[in-house]
Amino acid sequence: MSVEDLESYEADQELQLYREYRDVVNLFTYVVETDRRFYLANQVDVQVRSAGGEVFFEIVMADAWVWDVYRAARFVRTVRVLTFKDVNIEELAKSDLELPPTP
């Protein structure tokens, strides 16, 4: 496989992932962004933890979708993430995601 073939394959996978995201985003309430992944979820619980003088975040999500091109199954029942970096959680405005009624 050439470098061009690999780049083309990766670009195609990213495009398919974006299309899937666009199709499922309206099914979720929250967007969760960590230093390693991007998630859509309907329930999110974040706890600030500390151990050995280090502070970290424990994020538990339920009914989630994971932005990861290499995962075979992106829909997961529960996800538990530990991160030492900031986490960004945003509630999606449902009215912004709904399509306007057709005339």
Cα–Cα nearest to 61, from 26, 85, 87: 87
Half-sphere exposure of 53 (CA within 13 A, CB side): 0
Domains in the chain: boundaries:
3-93
**98 falls in which pLDDT band (50, 70, 90)?**
low
- Whether pLDDT at 97 is above 60: no
pLDDT at residue 63, rounded to an integer: 97
Residue indicated by tokens 């009914």: 63
pLDDT at residue 100, rounded to an integer: 59
The residues pairing with 31 across neighbouring beta strands, listed in sequence order, are 40, 90
Each residue's pLDDT tens digit, 24-68: 999 999 999 998 899 999 999 999 999 999 999 999 999 999 999
For the whole model, what pTM was predicted? 0.79
The residues pairing with 75 across neighbouring beta strands, listed in sequence order, are 65
Each residue's pLDDT tens digit, 9-18: 888 888 998 9
